[in-house]
Amino acid sequence: MLEMKKIRAITMDLDDTLWPVWPVMTRAENALSNWLAAHAPQTAALMLQADRRLALRHQVQKNRPDIGLDLGTLRREMIRLALQLHAEDTALVEPAYQVFIAERMRVDLFVEVRPALVWLAARYPLVAISNGNADPHLVGIGEHFHAAFSAQEFGVGKPDPRIFHAAAAAAGVQAHEVLHVGDDAEMDVLGGLNAGMQTVWVNRVQREWVHEAQPHAKVRNLRQLCALLQR
């Protein structure tokens, strides 16, 4: 059970907690391939194939272990490698990446998210924690967040306790005074618990909980989260 009196700040995941991420990624991949079709058609054909993109990703990660969690650099190097494989112009890397990332930031929030964020932000400092590269300001919800942490900028990602603790510090509270909210059982719930936080699992698709450690609460959406915090 949640200990309501202890909660002084809320940290929150982004992808699949505030919006469905796979439609976003599919649109971004398609936008990139469509743009490349006019400038580097052989590369465009390669980038449309999910298995070939995965092979490119693995090759870049093997060649450039220094990239680590920097998804922007990883994506740029995937585009560069694909262009090189077809002897097409590598000067296209940056404009191609800008097409991709612009679409990556165009998200469709779950229907209850915006009013829920308004309600929550009026009562608690909100801090975003994401292993992805979505930016709350660029997706149009930045005004609700006190701070935001991404794995690629911070250097480590969830479930590492350090990114949770940094988010707590940014909110001006201790970890045990934070409620972490997210959809991923391992990254969000177990990660938050290990960092000393209370946790809420956002389970929109009625998955089964399979871990011994338990979240403090389970909700289907952020509307239920707000109702829970009013008790």
Confidence of residue 112 (pLDDT cuts 50, 70, 90): very high
Reported as a single tens digit per residue, the pLDDT across 155-201 is 999 999 999 999 999 999 999 999 999 999 999 999 999 999 999 99
CA 105 to chain centre: 11
What are the chain's domains? 4-19+109-229 (3.40.50.1000), 22-104 (1.20.120.1600)
Looking at the predicted structure, is the pLDDT value of residue 48 above 90?
no
Mean pLDDT for 55-66 is: 96
pLDDT at residue 170, as a whole number: 98
Q: How many CA atoms lie within 13 A of 123 on its CB side?
A: 14
In this prediction, residue 218 carries a pLDDT of 98
Tell me the average pLDDT across 119-128: 98
Amino acid 88 reads E
Q: Which of 228, 168, 179, 225 is nearest to 202 (CA)?
A: 225
State mean pLDDT over 39-43.
Answer: 96
Tell me what the pLDDT averaged over the chain comes to: 97
Q: Tell me, what's the pLDDT at 231?
A: 76
pLDDT score recorded for residue 10: 98
40 Ramachandran zone, left/alpha/beta (phi>0; psi -120 to 50)? beta
